[in-house]
């Protein structure tokens, strides 16, 4: 498991943001995704008044499973692994979240159901859950956006179970690369090399495989000219259609989610 030292992240409050002040949302890659998508400027200002912007360094913990789920986060920049750790120390990554996605909202009796760890440097909007829920109760657009994101998150968790439970090892790795390509295009439409931001051990934790099996499966995809390796964590997709066919679970496109 990665070293993870919790700390109090840096934060900047949005409370009292003047109506003439440009919204930080205008520069946010996730502005057109998830919770913020249906909101006009006045409602965005209302939402911003509920939270702060925070930053985490790579490998730092955003929230821990079992801690009170008092806060959730909408990612502005970066990649977060949502995971659960067993008593014997083994970890299963259940989801990857990036710009536009929310993390930390799913709870178990008022406590975080999962752990969120930064795979890259993270910038996120942090919201007090009680205050947010109170505002959402009087804002149908916001409530509907949250409901849709939760449904999407549950669907993606179900797909992750299918990937681990039904796909063969090379199929799982192909599905992972296809997912990373989709995450990349979510914030950057230009095609190019994929920075995975994950080592072989983390990929294994995500796919329910051993490190050795992950490496062998990557080798098979390279041999078939489906992908190419630039560095150990940088991949170029050579045959996108074949990659998606090998790792296919369903034809449903990925959408922004809450986790």
CATH code assigned at 153: 2.60.120.10
Return the pLDDT at 154: 82
Relative to beta strand 111-112, strand 51-56 is unpaired
Residues 201 and 108 in one domain: no
Query: pLDDT digits over 47-89, tens only?
Result: 777 888 899 999 999 999 999 999 999 998 999 999 999 888 8
Higher pLDDT, 256 or 118: 118
CATH label of the domain that carries residue 192: 1.10.10.10
* Residues with Cβ within 8 Å of residue 155, at least 6 apart in sequence: 252
Residues 138 and 24 in one domain: yes
Query: pLDDT digits over 11-34, tens only?
Result: 544 444 445 566 667 667 666 666
Return the pLDDT at 253: 46
Q: Which of 142, 160, 178 is the last residue of a domain?
A: 160
Asked whether residue 72 is domain-assigned, the answer is yes
Domain range enclosing 18: 10-160
Return the pLDDT at 143: 85
Alpha helical stretches, state H, 31-70: 41-48
Highest mean pLDDT among 104-113, 154-163, 183-192: 104-113
Residues 146 and 82 in one domain: yes
Asked whether residue 255 is domain-assigned, the answer is no
Handedness of CA 241, 243, 245, 251 (dihedral sign): negative
**Backbone dihedral region for residue 85 (phi beyond 0: left; psi -120 to 50: alpha; all else: beta):** beta
Residues 77 and 42 in one domain: yes
For residue 215, give Cα distances in angstroms to 174, 200, 204, 221, 228.
Answer: 12, 7, 9, 10, 13
Q: Which of 138, 160, 182 is the last residue of a domain?
A: 160
Computed over every residue of the chain, the mean pLDDT equals 83
- Angle CA(102)–CA(103)–CA(104) in degrees, nearest 5? 135
Return the pLDDT at 13: 44
Asked whether residue 256 is domain-assigned, the answer is no
Residues 177 and 206 in one domain: yes
Asked whether residue 3 is domain-assigned, the answer is no
Q: Across the chain, how many H-helices and E-strands are there?
A: 7, 14
Q: Which of 141, 160, 179 is the last residue of a domain?
A: 160
Residues 118 and 240 in one domain: no
Tokens representing 104 are 């930390």
Asked whether residue 259 is domain-assigned, the answer is no
- How many residues does this entry show for the chain? 259
Query: pLDDT digits over 220-229, tens only?
Result: 999 999 999 9
Residues 142 and 241 in one domain: no
Q: How far is Cα 258 from Cα 159, in angstroms, rounded to an integer?
A: 15
Handedness of CA 107, 167, 152, 96 (dihedral sign): positive
Handedness of CA 154, 169, 121, 10 (dihedral sign): positive
Residues 145 and 176 in one domain: no
Residues 75 and 156 in one domain: yes
Asked whether residue 257 is domain-assigned, the answer is no
Residues 26 and 91 in one domain: yes
How many domains are contained in the chain?
A: 2
Give the DSSP H or E segment for 108.
strand 107-108
pLDDT band at 94 (very low <50, low <70, confident <90, very high): very high
Query: pLDDT digits over 169-192, tens only?
Result: 999 999 999 999 988 877 776 777
Residues 182 and 143 in one domain: no
Tokens representing 123 are 């910038």
Q: For the chain, what percent of residues have pLDDT higher than 90?
A: 47
Cβ pair 119, 68 in contact under 8 A = no
């Amino acid at each position: 498991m990665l070293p993870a030292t919790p700390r109090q992240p840096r934060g900047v409050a949005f409370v009292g943001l003047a109506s003439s002040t440009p919204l930080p949302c205008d520069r946010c890659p996730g502005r057109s995704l998830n919770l913020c998508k249906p909101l006009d400027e006045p409602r965005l200002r209302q939402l911003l008044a509920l939270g702060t912007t925070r930053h985490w360094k790579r490998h730092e913990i955003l929230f821990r499973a079992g801690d009170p789920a008092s806060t959730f986060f909408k990612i502005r920049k970066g990649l977060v692994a949502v995971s659960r750790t067993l008593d014997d120390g083994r970890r299963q990554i259940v989801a990857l979240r990036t710009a536009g996605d929310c993390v930390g909202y799913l709870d178990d009796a008022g406590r975080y159901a999962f752990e969120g760890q930064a795979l890259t440097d993270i910038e996120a909007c942090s919201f007090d859950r009680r205050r947010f829920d109170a505002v959402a109760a009087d804002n149908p657009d916001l409530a509907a956006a949250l409901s849709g994101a939760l449904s999407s998150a549950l669907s993606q968790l179900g797909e992750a179970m299918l990937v681990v439970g039904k796909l063969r090892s090379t199929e799982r790795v192909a599905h992972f690369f296809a997912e990373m390509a989709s995450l990349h295009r979510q914030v950057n439409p230009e095609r190019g090399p994929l920075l995975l931001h994950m080592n072989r051990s983390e990929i294994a934790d995500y796919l329910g495989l051993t490190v050795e099996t992950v490496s062998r499966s990557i080798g098979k995809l390279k041999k078939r000219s489906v992908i190419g390796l630039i560095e150990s964590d940088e991949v170029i997709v050579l045959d996108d259609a074949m990659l998606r066919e090998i790792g296919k679970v369903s034809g449903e496109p990925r959408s922004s989610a809450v986790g």
